[in-house]
A and B are shown apart, each in its own frame.
Chain A
Amino acid sequence: MTTTPAPFLTLRDLRVQFPTDDGVVKAVDGLSLALPRGRTLGIVGESGSGKSVTGLAVLGLHDPRSTRISGSILLDGQELTTAPEPALEKLRGARMAMVFQDSLTALSPYYTVGRQIAEPFRKHTGASRRDARLRAVEMLGKVGIPNPARRVDDYPHQFSGGMRQRAMIAMALVCDPELLIADEPTTALDVTVQAQILDLLGDLQRQTGSAIVLITHDLGVVAGTVDDLLVMYAGRAVEYGPVGDVLGAPRHPYTWGLLSSVPRLTSDVTKPLSPVPGAPPSLLDPPPGCPFHPRCAYTERVGGDRCRTERPELPEGRGAACHLGPERARALFGGARRTGTGGDRP
């Protein structure tokens, strides 16, 4: 592993909780990570594992009246959890931006694509209407929309799904943000367009050197795209490390389970896939000890009541939060599973 440059985004023990009538939903429960400029972090996990909640928390988009956030979010050294709203507004769209999953609902149907792209540029740079429009045309061209000077005046419903997602990326990148959080940016798209969008994100990152957080539940997407991978379960990091290590030699039974549930071209199609048994735990009342233990097949090997009573932590913020430990994990899952496109990108 090369020496990592100073992180641009740092989360320390981030907790996001939603108090409800039935109790407190612990959507993110003590998450720490560090992401330097120019690198891409993938966050994977099932629905409700806290991926999107984490992304929204970084931008400060949770409703403060219904959300409790504690811990620390540092953007280039600046604490965001306690930052006042106007300061966050200056950062959003300018230094940190977000791409949402469903471009049909994330773009307003009432305004032209060009206007929606130009809007943050005008706000953050004070550019004139004319210049902002030129910038919108430039951005549309950059994300690969053909004939951008004409399409800039189209409404979102006149764009195809892939073009809308490109337009949304243009909207997020219009001020050259140093941090881009892409929340399932390709989930709603078909496979060929998915690849184009991922390539586009990679190209733009090489040009601007920004840090990218790619939130997805699709392991195929992260394999060829990200540098580091964080696997989330029940609001916690269960495994975190360079993508090649995590996918090539998973050390957590949950990561192993996720990998085993992915259909592969090389696998025997007559054999059924092995999904992770059970369902994600309630975030209102998570299981004691390791939150994964009710679905885990290896609690016996750990022995005793350890998995049910003692919560495993990530050793030094990296590796796997599992009582099995790296040795036994390697023996159980090690190296057996090679990912088709896995490994660190050069």
Chain B
Amino acid sequence: MLRFLVRRVLGAAVIVLLISAITFFLFFALPSQPALMSCGKNCTPDALAVINRNLGLDEPVPVQYWHYVVGVFAGRDLTVGHCPAPCLGYSFSNQQPVWDTIMDRFPTTLSITLGAAAVFLVAGVGLGMIAAAFRGTWVDKVVSSLSLLGHSLQVYFLGVVALAVLVSGLHWLDNPEYHPITEDPVKWFTGMIIPWLVLSVIFVANYTRMTRSQMVEQLAEDHVRAARAKGLRRRTVFFRYAWRGAMTPIVTLFGIDLGSLFGGAIITETTFSLHGLGRLAVTSVSETDLPTLMAVMLVGCTAIVVANIVVDAAYAVIDPRVRLA
């Protein structure tokens, strides 16, 4: 297990480094002038050159990338002052180091992701198991139809409907808003309920259908029938034998979904005016705020890479046939 982790973490570091390099060079291939941002209205070519020099933008791209990487681990001195490690650069549009912006937005994304993941995992797997247990009956048909419906709904539609009904119509909840859980857990919870539920709907549908088909497949397995032949109760066999086998692909799916959600749920955040990484990515694109965009991408790809490692480790826990090496 330790060897596996060391190997995978090293591999992950290489992947993240590669992605960061590719992103970095791609951004510099863009016809953008980062220096224009801080040049002001009456920008003269001379002033622009000064700024470019101050920002280090007159150096070759590989050198700039090297400074960037060193900055992440050791910090670096920028024209605006020292940027301590981990330094992801300085954003002129936000007037602060990128790392601070990320740390400001990440808790929102984390809250949305974990809450929604809990909802869709429990609801999706639960509904899928119910549908499988009552396969072929009206219960199964209702669950299956609902999941198809849920799958075709979109967050920007369902979100607006939820706001109209729950907030404006029934006044059950306030407008979604992020409060740090450390300050007020109750407000944190009530402020997040609508985004959680709305974001979950699409995922619930997916997990329901996946769980149902996996369970149906598992229930037809020889070892499930053999367990029944031992005199075990239908329920025991359902949970102990069939469910265990059905979970493996679900865990994979869950890991990947979780990883991509950590990169920011753009539509959900926009719909509910939440300031997470997703919206940060959108604004940094429209403002050509390359350091911030770069940082959001790095967070996103790191999350996916880490999620993959966790999934593989979880695999070994679930299935004794899987060897970690």
Contacts and interface: CB of A to CB of B under 8 A. Distances in A.
A binds B: yes
B319 A110 contact: yes
A110 B229 contact: no
Interface string B301-325: 0000000000000000011110000
A92 B231 contact: yes
A157 interface: yes
Given A94-B231, A110-B245, A119-B232, A61 B225 contact: yes
A92 B223 CA distance: 15
B179 interface: no
Interface stretch (A22-30, A32-40, A67-75, A97-105): A97-105
Contacts of A93: 229-232
A300 to B, nearest CB: 44
Contacts of B231: 89-94, 120, 123-124
Nearest to B228: A61
What's the interface size class on A, roughly?
20 to 34
A139 to B, nearest CB: 13
B222 interface: yes
Contact of A110 (B136, B226, B234, B244): B244
Interface of B: 136, 221-234, 241, 244-245, 318-321
A61 B231 CA distance: 10
A89 B222 contact: no
A168 B226 CA distance: 9
A119 B231 CA distance: 9
A110 to B, nearest CB: 5
Contacts of A100: 222, 225-226, 229
Given A92-B229, A109-B320, 17 more contacts: A56-B225, A59-B229, A61-B225, A61-B228, A92-B230, A93-B229, A94-B231, A98-B229, A100-B222, A100-B225, A106-B225, A106-B226, A108-B226, A108-B241, A109-B245, A124-B231, A172-B230
5 contacts: A89-B231, A105-B222, A105-B223, A107-B223, A108-B224
Contact of A108 (B227, B234, B318): B227
B241 to A, nearest CB: 5
A157 B323 CA distance: 12
A259 interface: no
A192 B320 CA distance: 30
A92 B228 contact: yes
Given A65-B136, A155-B321, A108 B223 contact: yes
Contact of A61 (B221, B229, B233, B320): B229
A97 B245 contact: no
A29 to B, nearest CB: 23
Nearest to A59: B229
Contacts of A65: 136
Nearest to B243: A110
B230 A119 contact: yes
A56 B222 CA distance: 12
A114 to B, nearest CB: 13
B113 to A, nearest CB: 29
A89 B233 CA distance: 7
A131 B82 CA distance: 69
A256 to B, nearest CB: 34
B232 to A, nearest CB: 7
Contacts of A106: 222-223, 225-226
Nearest to B136: A65
A61 B320 CA distance: 28
Contacts of A124: 231
Interface string A196-231: 000000000000000000000000000000000000
